[in-house]
Amino acid sequence: MSTTSLVKGARASRSTVALKLLMAVSGLVFIGYVLLHMYGNLKAFAGHDAFNEYAEHIREIGEPILPHEGALWIIRVVLLLALVVHVYTGLALWGRAKKARTTPYAVKKSTGANFASRMMRWGGVTLLLFIIWHLLNFTVGKVNVSGGATNDPFNLMVDSFSVWWLTLIYLAAMLALGAHLHHGVWSAAQTLGLTGTAGARLRWKRIAFVTALIISVGFSLVPIAVLAGVISK
Amino acid sequence: MSSNDNMSLTLKIWRQPDAASAGALHTYKLDDVSPDMSFLEMLDVLNEQLNANNEDPIAFDSDCREGICGTCGLMINGDAHGPEVTTTCQLHMRSFVDGETITIEPWRATAFPVLKDLVVDRSAFDRIIQQGGYISVNTGSAPEAHSVPVPREDAQRAFNVATCIACGACVAACPNGSASLFMGAKITHLGELPQGQPERDSRVVNMVAQHDHEGFGGCTNIGMCTAACPKEIPLDVISQLNKDLRTAMRHGH
């Protein structure tokens, strides 16, 4: 695609950097959401009633100004928009990268790259598949792999995580999420132009690592606790 | 000239007669390579051998051979400019061991088409520079240097990133084939100085647009570029590039 022509009338909003900015901002929306989600999950340690009350309360936020489930639907719409933006920009940049090098190297080392940064695209696809399953499991279809009832959030959760292979899928997904955030948070900071000095760069690498650790470990606690029998019906 | 330290090497080198033809890796044996030779001198010796055998010598780019012009650049065993933080011409054979197999390839990027063997066309960089890698001043007698004061940190940062020699190693190393480190170096260099301010917004917007138009990929902040850079340009120039573009966007560009 190398050309000898010069671009006229360039628009910043049409650039790859604009795609990256959209990706960074939509990613930050997800981080805000998963932190709230994780807080909700940890309510499982407070027992059956506290967890179910919390689940019910999410539907009542903002009432009576908002209708029943109003706030919940606002969150869902924002998340769906962020997902569309994140996936679209991810695929667009992936496609550009493919076109930018059509002849691969016979020998290529990854000097200077960490594992998480090289897993972003396939890791992202893994997370997307996981999110679809996760919504089928707990929100849209409500699949109880143990065959029990699905109308009680706490019991559905305990039934689900009592199945070892399902817990394993969730733990693997949290590993993928941790890796995605480890590079993603740092990358978002860089894209937003917050890492202009060596000090800021180091600071954001640490923030990214800690964010990834808190979220992946925080989410893993509940499934592990269920499987270990700490949380039970 | 022969000594016990001299090495025998197996070289796998990309041969391609011209831009339109297909290429392939060819294997050559080279004996009696002194560890004191530079990498390009080693290729010169191989070419003399090929010449003597009436074979076409291997085409590769080089000019100053002292690491300052940015003309040379080879992918050596999967690392741009080889295993040391330097240019290919300043890489020495002591970085390799006797009996080693060395794979030598040209920079691979759609925006850097191979012209012949290991030579690529990097005029895409020239066009990016044409789009803003300069400042516009009236020619004439030079103004008094002290008439425009520059804070020391700003001058230092500008000088540090002005060491970019546009060799293209960042593009070659990048898994996305992005030239963001190169662009970031230019944008930071000119953006840190008072003379660079009038064209600051249009510079970043036009350079990025040309970069995308040439077919370079988008940056994903992995950092292989900065690891390959012979001038150790830090990754924060890409942050500066992104920040300048965001600012330009806010200013209506």
For the record, the structure tokens of A46 come out as 């407070």
Question: Which parts of chain B sit beneath pLDDT 70?
Answer: 1-3
Q: B173 and A195 in contact by Cβ < 8 A?
A: no
CB-CB neighbours of B194 under 10 Å: 12
Alpha-carbon distance B186 to B189, whole Å? Answer: 5
Confidence of residue A70 (pLDDT cuts 50, 70, 90): very high
Nearest CA of chain B to the CA of A42: how many Å? 33
User: How, if at all, do strands B119-120 and B101-105 pair?
Assistant: unpaired
A11: nearest CA partner in chain B: B253
Asked if the interface predicted TM-score (ipTM) of this complex is over 0.95, the answer is: no
Q: B127 and A18 in contact by Cβ < 8 A?
A: no
CB contacts of A189 in chain B (<8 Å) are 239
Q: B224 and A113 in contact by Cβ < 8 A?
A: yes
Out of B205, B226, B234, closest to residue A10 by CB: B205
Q: B245 and A11 in contact by Cβ < 8 A?
A: no
Out of A16, A111, A198, closest to residue B218 by CB: A16
Contact B96, B5 (CB under 8 A): no
Whole-number pLDDT of residue A2: 54
Q: B228 and A200 in contact by Cβ < 8 A?
A: no
pTM over 0.80: yes
CB contacts of A110 in chain B (<8 Å) are 175, 224
Q: A118 and B175 in contact by Cβ < 8 A?
A: yes
Cβ-based burial of A20 (10 A; exposed 0-12, middle 13-18, buried ≥19) = buried
Can you give the residue ranges of every domain in chain B? 7-116, 122-137+146-250
Query: How many A-B residue pairs are in contact by the CB < 8 A criterion?
Result: 196
- Is pLDDT at A3 greater than 70 in this prediction? no
CB contacts of B222 in chain A (<8 Å) are 112-113, 117-118, 183
CB contacts of A124 in chain B (<8 Å) are none
Nearest CA of chain B to the CA of A18: how many Å? 8
Contact B82, B150 (CB under 8 A): no
Q: A110 and B224 in contact by Cβ < 8 A?
A: yes
For the record, the structure tokens of B241 come out as 């590039």
Nearest CA of chain A to the CA of B137: how many Å? 22
Out of B12, B176, B239, closest to residue A194 by CB: B239
Whole-number pLDDT of residue B140: 86
Mean pLDDT within A89-108: 97
Q: Show the 3-state SS of chain B.
A: CCCCCCEEEEEEEEECCCCCCCCEEEEEEEEEECCCCEHHHHHHHHHHHHHHCCCCCCCCCCCCCCCCCCCCCCEECCEECCCCCCCHHHCEHHHCCCCCEEEEECCCECCECEEECCEECCHHHHHHHHCCCCCCCCCCCCCCHHHCCCCHHHHHHHHHHCCCCCCCHHHHHCCCCCCHHHHHHHHHHHHCCHHHCCCHHHHHHHHHHHHHHHCCCCCCCCCHHHHHCCCCCCCHHHHHHHHHHHHHHHCCC
Q: What's chain A's average pLDDT?
A: 94
Alpha-carbon distance A25 to A188, whole Å? Answer: 8
Whole-number pLDDT of residue B142: 83
CATH of domain B7-116: 3.10.20.30
Out of B127, B225, B227, closest to residue A6 by CB: B127
Mean pLDDT within A155-169: 94
- Is pLDDT at A116 greater than 90 in this prediction? yes
Task: Choose from B12, B245, B253 for mutation: most chain A CBs within 10 A.
Answer: B245
CB contacts of A198 in chain B (<8 Å) are 234, 236
Q: What is the dihedral of CA B174, B243, B192, B80, to 10 degrees?
A: 0
Peptide bond preceding A64 in cis form (omega within 30 of 0): yes
Alpha-carbon distance A202 to A204, whole Å? Answer: 6
Task: Choose from A11, A15, A99 for mutation: most chain B CBs within 10 A.
Answer: A15
Domain boundaries B122-137+146-250, CATH class: mainly alpha
Whole-number pLDDT of residue A145: 84
Alpha-carbon distance B71 to A88, whole Å? Answer: 38
Whole-number pLDDT of residue A142: 83
Out of A12, A97, A190, closest to residue B176 by CB: A97
